């Protein structure tokens, strides 16, 4: 088998890792890089718990051959906090009760972050579309939507003050 060394930027740091030709990226993250914040749920692109950002776009890492990550910039839930300070999305999810069992939360936050990185004033419809590929079996989604709206508000205030949240 022709294993390959792939190089990419992971949460702001350059990394190289050797992968099998058809290894899936979620397995590389969890098994080889020990980044287990990204969850593996259905394993077929149906639940969104494995969502990561590739060049800023939300994708299912369970459907992504690791080879395709070569040369890209990847962000996982581990890269969302900034110098030990939680991202407003993380704070809002906690404060608004948008976390129950927590299994969907990393994927849910990554999908929401892909939206808020581009649009800090999303409509309710845009929020719901952004997380429509993420299934939560606990919360009923209302708290999640409220948390994303709340985080957007925090980010807008921070933008006015000139603070940054990567």
Partner 1 sequence: MVQDYVFPGTVEQAVAMLAESKGRARVIAGGTDLVLDMRDGKITADKLVDLRAIDGMQRIVEHDDSISIGASVTHSQIVRSTLLRHHAPGLVDACRKVGSLQIRNVATVVGNVVNGNPAADAAVALACLDATATVVDEQGTRTIPFNELYAGICISCINSSCQIVTQISFPKKKAGEGSSYIRMEQRKALSLPMLNVSSKVRVINSQFQDVQLLMAPVGAGPQHAVTAEDFLMGKDITDENIRQAGVLAREQATFRSSAVRGSKEYRIGVLPVCVERALRAAIADAQEG
Question: In this complex, which beta carbon is closest to partner 1, that of residue 115 or of residue 152?
Answer: 115
Q: Which stretch binds partner 1 (CB under 8 A): 8-16, 27-35, 52-60, 87-95?
A: 52-60
Q: CA 120 to CA 118: how far, in whole Å?
A: 7
Token pair, residue 79, equals 């890269």
**Which positions from 89 through 128 interact with partner 1, judged by CB under 8 A?**
111, 114
Residues 6+ apart with CB under 8 A from 108: 48, 51, 93, 98, 131, 134, 136, 144
Among the listed ranges 8-16, 31-39, 58-66, 84-92, the one in contact with partner 1 (CB under 8 A) is 58-66
Q: With beta carbons less than 8 A apart as the criterion, state whether 36 and 30 touch.
A: yes
Question: Which positions from 74 through 93 interact with partner 1, judged by CB under 8 A?
Answer: none
Whole-Å CA distances, 129 to 50, 68, 78, 132, 151 = 17, 25, 24, 5, 17
Is position 140 an interface residue for partner 1 (rule: CB under 8 A)? no
* Site for partner 1, rule CB under 8 A: 1-2, 4, 20-22, 24, 43-46, 48, 51, 57-60, 63-65, 67-68, 70, 111, 114, 129-130, 132-135
């Amino acid at each position: 088998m022709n294993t390959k060394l792939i190089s990419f930027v992971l949460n702001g740091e350059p990394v190289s890792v050797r992968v099998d030709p058809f290894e899936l990226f979620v397995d590389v993250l969890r098994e080889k890089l020990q980044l287990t914040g990204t969850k593996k749920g259905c394993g077929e692109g149906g639940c969104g718990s494995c969502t990561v950002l590739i060049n800023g776009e939300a994708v299912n890492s369970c459907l992504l051959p690791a080879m395709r990550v070569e040369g890209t910039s990847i962000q996982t839930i581990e890269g969302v906090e900034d110098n030990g300070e939680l991202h407003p999305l993380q704070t809002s999810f906690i404060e608004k009760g948008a976390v129950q069992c927590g299994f969907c939360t990393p994927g849910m936050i990554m999908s929401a972050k892909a939206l808020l990185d581009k649009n800090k004033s999303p409509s309710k419809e845009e929020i719901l579309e952004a997380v429509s590929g993420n299934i939560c079996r606990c919360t009923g989604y209302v708290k999640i939507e409220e948390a994303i709206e709340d985080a957007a508000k925090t980010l807008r205030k921070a933008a006015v003050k000139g603070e940054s949240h990567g």
